[in-house]
């Protein structure tokens, strides 16, 4: 069916938007067409000719996201058609707010018929965003109504929402082609930011790195392009086959491809059935069409006209920003279900009906700017979140987020790290509690031991925090004097090793035996036998003595008491001060020990930097 869209655009702009031979042969738009013309005010208006036929609706959706003002074209000899109503639903989902209704082919019907069609159109649009829109009959053949339409468009252009030029630019790609002598060119509507010639470019989700060689806006070569303009971008070093419709061009390191989205989904009243969990759908985001499964988070099913929180589990990756609008259609038959807005662009898999998840999503969706920033930082866990990344996640200008974070830092809700990253105090408090609890549990189980190894503590908490997060929280606790590291062990600062009852008695007995022959002490099995202690308790006390440094392990089966070690240091220093050097034999005689003890004990003194070996003798350091 030909509503006269392409002819209308030709009358407005002087350009032909049907570029495909099949389009010209069949007299209908199949793919997106583009043109531009100058308004009376001198401004340039870009026109996107989207297909009207239901079989090419996905192509229409690829261009709909770049529309600020809609021209709803209805043929006067046909009236409203089913696909026109579906287009209206889609435009409502995408929150298009302004437009003009154009009745084409006014020259082929009489005045009475034209009045009837206008009444029918007004009635059909009563509950839509075009209810009060101007309705203009035109003829693309005779030119009737065209000047009036152009004047209306100039006036409405003043009311069109201004897209933000603050922050990184983003271009959903709706066309890609090769130009001889230039290479690969991509086109789309720049949805935010300012792109400049020479900018580095990441083409996602493919992960291609390139740069902008040249830019065109409305056919004119420019040095930069601002959000809201129709852009042709010549990208360096790419083949046409590297890119397809639905890719996104953006500066590197800003956006990332995602396989899941948390969204608010509004089901159209006109959708004629209940929407069930796990329904397979087609999702239209920017210029992309992606297959997905719906995971209904807060309802068993959604009735027509209802709204719900949903996770979209995508079958291929895509790139979006928080707040982006999307449209959902059934996989088959391809009926429009509804649409909504993106709440979170990189969620983990959620359990259904999880109140914590639902609460977080509601805050993300409707919270104040400060709440949204705080929640974005909270979601980052113990990985400091740069303010610029927080701004992207919450969909706010970077300057606004910077001011908000300053306030949140002042109230103590957020903490700033040395490198400028942000952490949420609740995450820090929870992590600090886990470390303190783990140490307290260890002290309760092993009161005689000075503490545990740092690595053992970190490994116990590996499921709650990675090594970077652990180090960050540990340093914070250590700076506050809450924890300490002693003798290679970590502990709560308030902990002092102690033992009571039988364990204390056994400890004293073991230490006496070690000091009885300080440099010829028996090996562990003999020590345990001498003290007559049960195996498990003896091992526990012995481990505590080693852990606390009361007993020094010189070799596999060679131990001395810490007091004997200090005494050896004193004796050796005195000897070497007097004699200058000392042989191993002289050392054995000095301490009255055997070779079994002398050699590891000399190595111990070397490690303590009391002595150093020079040839076959030792001297003081």
> Domain range holding 431?
367-498
Outline where DSSP puts E strands in 549-596: 551-555, 558-561
What is the reported pLDDT for 31? 56
Cβ-Cβ contacts under 8 Å for 165 (sequence gap 6 or more)? 192, 193, 194, 226, 227
Q: Is residue 468 part of a domain?
A: yes
Q: Is residue 399 part of a domain?
A: yes
Residues 32, 136: one domain? yes
307 backbone dihedrals φ, ψ, rounded to 5°:
-130, 145
What's the pLDDT band for 59 if we cut at 50, 70, 90? low
**8 A C-beta contact, residue 609 and residue 599:** no
Closest CA relative to residue 384, chosen from 419, 345, 347: 419
**8 A C-beta contact, residue 104 and residue 75:** yes
**pLDDT, tens only, 246-275:** 999 999 988 899 999 999 999 999 898 999
**pLDDT, tens only, 495-518:** 888 776 777 777 888 888 888 889
Residues 484, 610: one domain? no
Does the pLDDT of residue 52 top 60, yes or no? no
415 SS3 class:
strand
> The domain spanning residue 36 has which CATH number?
3.40.50.300
Residues 519, 397: one domain? no
> The domain spanning residue 323 has which CATH number?
2.40.30.10
- The per-type count for the chain, helices as H runs and strands as E runs, is 19, 31
Does the pLDDT of residue 54 top 50, yes or no? no
Residue 306, exposed/middle/buried by CB under 10 A (0-12, 13-18, 19+)?
A: middle
pLDDT, mean of residues 478-499: 88
What's the pLDDT band for 34 if we cut at 50, 70, 90? confident
Does the pLDDT of residue 544 top 90, yes or no? no
pLDDT, mean of residues 451-476: 88
What is the reported pLDDT for 181? 81
What is the reported pLDDT for 266? 96
Residues 194, 326: one domain? no
Residues 375, 352: one domain? no
Where is mean pLDDT largest: 57-66, 510-519, 563-572? Answer: 563-572
What is the reported pLDDT for 24? 43
Entry pTM:
0.61
What's the pLDDT band for 27 if we cut at 50, 70, 90? very low
Q: Is residue 536 part of a domain?
A: yes
97 SS3 class:
coil
How many domains does the chain contain in total?
5
Q: Is residue 164 part of a domain?
A: no
Which domain-ending residue is among 291, 326, 357?
Answer: 357
Does the pLDDT of residue 79 top 90, yes or no? no
What is the reported pLDDT for 4? 76
**pLDDT, tens only, 314-328:** 999 999 988 899 999
**8 A C-beta contact, residue 611 and residue 621:** yes
Using the structure block, give the residue that is written with the tokens 């012995």.
Answer: 542
pLDDT, mean of residues 345-356: 92
pLDDT, mean of residues 57-65: 56
Residues 153, 11: one domain? yes
419 SS3 class:
coil
**pLDDT, tens only, 183-229:** 899 999 898 888 999 999 999 999 999 999 999 998 889 999 988 88
Q: Is residue 482 part of a domain?
A: yes
Does the pLDDT of residue 488 top 90, yes or no? no
Q: Is residue 166 part of a domain?
A: no
What is the reported pLDDT for 125? 93
Residues 138, 11: one domain? yes
Does the pLDDT of residue 92 top 80, yes or no? yes
> The domain spanning residue 507 has which CATH number?
1.10.10.10
Q: Bigger pLDDT: 158 or 373?
A: 373
Could you tell me the two tokens for 317?
A: 């990756």
Q: Is residue 165 part of a domain?
A: no
Task: Tell me what the pLDDT averaged over the chain comes to.
Answer: 87
Which domain-ending residue is among 290, 323, 357?
Answer: 357
Percent of the chain topping pLDDT 90: 49
Does the pLDDT of residue 65 top 80, yes or no? no
Where is mean pLDDT largest: 10-24, 58-72, 93-107, 538-552? Answer: 93-107
Which domain-ending residue is among 102, 135, 157?
Answer: 157
pLDDT, mean of residues 56-65: 54
Residues 115, 18: one domain? yes
Where is mean pLDDT largest: 35-39, 513-517, 605-609? Answer: 605-609
What's the pLDDT band for 90 if we cut at 50, 70, 90? confident
Residues 380, 296: one domain? no
Does the pLDDT of residue 13 top 90, yes or no? no
What is the reported pLDDT for 56? 39
pLDDT, mean of residues 20-31: 43
Q: C-alpha 235: how far from its chain's center? A: 27
Q: Is residue 382 part of a domain?
A: yes
Residues 583, 525: one domain? yes
What is the reported pLDDT for 477? 94
pLDDT, mean of residues 74-96: 86
Q: Bin 253: left if φ > 0, else alpha if -120 < ψ < 50, else beta.
A: left
What's the pLDDT band for 60 if we cut at 50, 70, 90? low
Closest CA relative to residue 414, chosen from 406, 423, 402: 423
Q: CA-CA distance, 128 to 117, in Å (whole number)?
A: 17
Residues 225, 270: one domain? no
pLDDT, mean of residues 81-89: 83
Residues 347, 384: one domain? no
Does the pLDDT of residue 301 top 90, yes or no? yes
**pLDDT, tens only, 121-173:** 999 999 899 999 999 999 999 999 999 999 999 888 877 766 666 568 999 99
């Amino acid at each position: 069916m030909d509503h006269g869209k392409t002819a209308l655009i030709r009358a407005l702009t002087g350009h032909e938007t049907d570029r495909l031979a099949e389009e010209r042969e069949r007299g209908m738009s199949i793919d997106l067409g583009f043109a531009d013309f100058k308004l009376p005010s001198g401004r340039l208006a870009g026109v996107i000719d989207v297909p009207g036929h239901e079989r090419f609706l996905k192509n229409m959706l690829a261009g709909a996201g770049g529309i600020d003002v809609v021209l709803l074209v209805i043929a006067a000899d046909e009236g409203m058609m089913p696909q026109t109503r579906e287009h209206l639903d889609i435009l409502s989902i995408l929150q298009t707010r302004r437009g003009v209704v154009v009745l084409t082919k006014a020259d082929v019907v009489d005045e009475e018929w034209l009045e009837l069609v206008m009444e029918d159109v007004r009635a059909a649009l009563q509950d839509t965003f075009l209810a009060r829109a101007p309705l203009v009959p035109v003829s693309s053949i005779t030119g009737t109504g065209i000047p009036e339409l152009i004047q209306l468009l100039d006036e409405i252009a003043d009311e069109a929402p201004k897209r933000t030029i603050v922050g990184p630019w983003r271009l959903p790609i709706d066309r890609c082609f090769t130009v001889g002598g230039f290479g690969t060119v991509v086109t789309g509507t720049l949805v935010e930011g300012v792109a400049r010639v020479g900018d580095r470019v990441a083409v996602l989700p493919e992960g291609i790195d390139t740069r902008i060689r040249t830019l065109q806006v409305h056919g004119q070569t420019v040095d930069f392009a601002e959000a809201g303009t129709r852009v042709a971008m010549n990208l360096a070093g790419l083949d046409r086959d590297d890119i397809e419709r639905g890719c996104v061009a953006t500066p590197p390191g800003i956006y990332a491809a995602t396989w899941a989205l948390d969204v608010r989904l509004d089901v159209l009243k006109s959708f004629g059935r209940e929407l069930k969990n796990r329904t397979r759908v087609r999702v239209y985001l920017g210029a992309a069409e992606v297959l997905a499964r719906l995971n209904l988070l807060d309802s068993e099913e959604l009735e027509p006209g209802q709204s719900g929180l949903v996770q979209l589990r995508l079958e291929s990756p895509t790139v979006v920003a928080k707040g982006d609008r999307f449209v959902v259609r059934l996989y088959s038959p391809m009926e429009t279900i509804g649409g909504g807005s993106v709440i979170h662009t990189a969620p983990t898999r959620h359990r259904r009906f999880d109140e914590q998840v639902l609460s977080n999503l509601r805050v993300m969706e409707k919270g104040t700017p400060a709440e949204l920033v705080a929640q974005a930082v909270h979601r980052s866990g113990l990985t400091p979140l740069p303010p610029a990344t927080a701004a992207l996640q919450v969909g706010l200008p970077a300057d606004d987020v910077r001011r908000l974070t300053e306030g949140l830092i002042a109230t103590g809700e957020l903490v700033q790290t040395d490198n400028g990253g942000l952490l949420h105090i609740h995450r820090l408090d929870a992590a600090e509690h886990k470390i303190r609890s783990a140490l307290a549990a260890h002290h309760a189980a092993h009161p005689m031991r000075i503490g545990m190894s740092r690595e053992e503590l970190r490994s116990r908490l590996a499921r709650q925090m990675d090594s970077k997060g652990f180090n960050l929280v540990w340093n914070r606790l250590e700076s506050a004097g809450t924890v300490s590291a002693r003798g290679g062990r970590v502990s709560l600062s308030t902990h002092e090793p102690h033992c009571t009852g039988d364990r204390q008695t056994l400890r004293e007995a073991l230490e006496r035996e070690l000091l009885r022959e300080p440099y010829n002490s028996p090996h562990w099995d003999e020590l345990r036998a001498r003290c007559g202690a049960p195996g498990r308790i003896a091992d526990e006390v012995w481990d505590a003595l080693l852990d606390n440094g009361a007993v020094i392990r010189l070799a596999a089966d060679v131990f001395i008491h810490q007091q004997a070690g200090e005494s050896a240091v004193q004796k050796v220093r005195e000897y070497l001060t007097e004699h200058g050097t000392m042989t191993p034999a002289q050392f054995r005689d000095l301490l009255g020990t055997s070779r079994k003890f002398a050699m590891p004990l000399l190595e111990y003194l070397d490690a303590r930097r009391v002595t150093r070996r020079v040839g076959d003798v030792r001297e003081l350091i």
